[in-house]
Amino acid sequence: MKSFAGIKKINNKDWKNTMNTDELVIQDYSEHMLDEMMQLFYNTVHSVNAKDYKKEQLNNWAPLPLPADKRFWEQRLKKSVCKVAFINNIMVGFTELVDDGHIDTMYVHKDFQRRKVATTLINEILQIAEQRNYSMLTTEASITAKPFFEAFGFKVTQVKKKLYNGKDFTNYKMTKAL
């Protein structure tokens, strides 16, 4: 794992006792979080998604060196609502909602899977969608994320084979009526 200045490495000692969801804090995205978010994105794609995608696909989805596409991330996060999850001041996940009701990202740190982080983040998104009177949410879920979104009432409307950085990917266009 590569390490970048200002990015807190997580080891077993830091997270072993963070199972209590009462310690989970959701914050609005701030620019100072970007490098850590990009590292979390890279690590999540290359670990959690590795069971469903080939190494070449993962390398194209989340390439090194970071921050290869930092300007792209900066621009897109300025145009969306981004919520970031922390446990004991450790960034453990983030999600992003764009103005048209599309959930563009949902990533949870590999060491914090199945600890209600994504559930808390999706509930934040659902609350924002309700406040904005959205009638529908959409997402393009990976093979890995599809069951999570289905558990929250999203339905597959299209199986997509898309080209991403020169590699074919299967993902699922999903919708949820509100």
| pLDDT given at position 2 | 34
User: What is the Cα–Cα distance from 68 to 90, expressed in whole angstroms?
Assistant: 23
Q: What are phi and psi of 170, to 5 degrees?
A: -100, 130
pLDDT band for position 134 (cuts 50, 70, 90): very high
pTM summary value: 0.84
Structural domains of the chain, with CATH: 21-134 (3.40.630.30)
Distance CA 60, CA 101 (A): 26
What tens digit of pLDDT does each residue of 15-68 get? 444 445 558 999 999 999 999 999 999 999 999 999 998 898 888 888 876 656
CA dist list (Å): 11 to 14, 16, 48, 110: 5, 8, 17, 12
The residue whose two tokens read 């930092």 is 70
Give the lowest-confidence range in 83-92, 134-143, 162-171.
162-171
